[in-house]
Amino acid sequence: MILNGITRITNDIEYDLLKSHINVLIDEATVKGYLSEQGADNEFIREIARLGKIGAIYETEVLRLPKRSNNPLVLEVE
């Protein structure tokens, strides 16, 4: 599965590949120092965020996982 230009995932295999790809991007961005500056805006951060949103949509719509808050202090209750 090529992740460039992906806008949606439709099954668990694609979901697992998406998560693995995000982890690879995070590892590469960390090694290259792209994640060291808080509030930085670069291609790695934008792509990780884009893929994360696609994964979150799949988690909510298909896996029926509750939406996550960006704030770690917020406890989500259904």
Q: What is the pLDDT of residues 3-57, one digit of tens each?
A: 678 899 999 999 999 999 999 999 999 999 999 988 889 999 999 999 999 999 9
Domain ranges of the chain: 12-61
* Cβ neighbours for 78, distance < 8 A, ≥ 6 positions apart: 66
The whole-model pTM stands at 0.76
Total residue length of the chain? 78
Q: What is the distance between the alpha carbons of residues 58 and 15, in angstroms, rounded to a whole number?
A: 8
- Asked if 48 contacts 26 with a C-beta cutoff of 8 angstroms, the reply is yes
